[in-house]
Amino acid sequence: MIVFELFGETVPTTSTAERLAEIDGVSRVRVVPGMPAGHSLVSGEVSHNATDALLAALNSMGVAREDIRLTRGEELGGGVPGAEDTSLIWADVVGLAGSNARIFGRYLAFMAVAGVIACYGVVGASPILIVGAMAVSPDLLPIIATAVGVIGRSLRLSARALLTLTAGLGTAALFAAIFAFIQNELALLPSRFNLDDTVLHGLDHVNDETIAVALAAGVAGMLAFETRASSGVGVAISVTTIPAAAYLGVAAGLGEADKALGALGVLAVNVAMIVLGACITLISQRAVAQRREARG
């Protein structure tokens, strides 16, 4: 269930409320006097299927976006949700994508920490540390934002999200390279250390597993992004990015250029396949939503 609110002057707001009540899927519309005098608050409920139609109607009436608030509400009582409760709300997806496409210092800090942890996971042959690095990494968010920009035909959103993703993965690889270099210079690496014998061996070349896993990760990532489960699924998505970024960084830090370039290729293919998987999922969901809307 989606709850909407809009605030404004009483006369135009009341007129807007009357028009909103006529939209299929909108219910419990009410007008409450607000402060200062002469202003009112309109609130009501709208089904998932009708949310984008509601926003389009408000936009056509000239209601400013900053005067509109949408929140998700949970119904108690153990009722079984209908199909409309799982429908895609495009405005919601685009809004989230826009927020996650920006570069934040905290995001880069998380990616740097992931790179350091993954570096020690590679050097120490520790799968636990690799998984820990994947849990820290928030790279799922800009990846999915890139897909949303592609499907929404927003070059600006896609470019910004891709830049954020590149900066994040680059930061992870850079810190992995720095710490690998330091360990090498201080003779802290395990004796006879060889990248080919690590838990990430084979990440310097693309194979069918690379493509299949990344595509599946893209599907899961898009579904998790929409249902706010990205923190739980993010580890699974990062299995296609953080290990490759760490392998790239460690190889570069140890001066193994061929392996570093190979890992860069694997990382690029993984990102492309995740975005493709997310795009296919989003296209399918929008097609289903449009078919439902057409059936009324």
pLDDT of residue 71: 84
pLDDT of residue 80: 47
Question: Amino acid identity of 156?
Answer: R
pLDDT of residue 209: 87
Enter the pTM of the model: 0.76
Answer whether 135's CB lies under 8 Å from 234's CB: yes
pLDDT in tens, the chain (296 residues): 788 999 888 888 888 999 998 898 899 999 999 888 888 999 999 987 788 888 888 988 888 888 888 887 666 555 444 544 555 677 777 877 888 888 889 999 999 999 999 999 999 889 999 999 998 998 888 998 999 999 988 999 999 999 999 999 999 999 999 999 999 999 999 888 888 887 777 788 898 888 999 999 899 888 877 665 555 566 667 888 999 999 999 999 999 999 999 999 999 999 999 999 999 998 988 787 777 666 65
Q: Kindly state the greatest CA–CA separation across the chain.
A: 79
Cα–Cα distance list, 274 to 108, 125, 126, 138, 260 (Å): 21, 26, 25, 14, 21
Answer whether 273's CB lies under 8 Å from 281's CB: no
What tokens does 161 get?
Answer: 């999200």
Chain CA centroid to CA 5, Å: 26
Beta-carbon contacts of residue 258 (< 8 Å; ≥ 6 apart): 204
Q: In what order do the strands lie in the sheet containing 2-9? A: 26-34, 39-46, 2-9, 68-72
pLDDT of residue 176: 97
Crossing angle for the helix pair 155-185 and 105-123, to the nearest 10 degrees: 40
| Best CA proximity match to 265, nearest among 194, 204, 213 | 204
- 57 bridge partner residues: none
**What are the φ and ψ backbone dihedral angles of 9, each rounded to 5 degrees?**
-65, 145
Distance CA 112, CA 87 (A): 36
What DSSP designation does 189 have?
S
What tokens does 33 get?
Answer: 């006097």
Chain CA centroid to CA 8, Å: 33
Cα–Cα distance list, 159 to 96, 140, 173, 209 (Å): 16, 16, 21, 28
- 7 bridge partner residues: 41
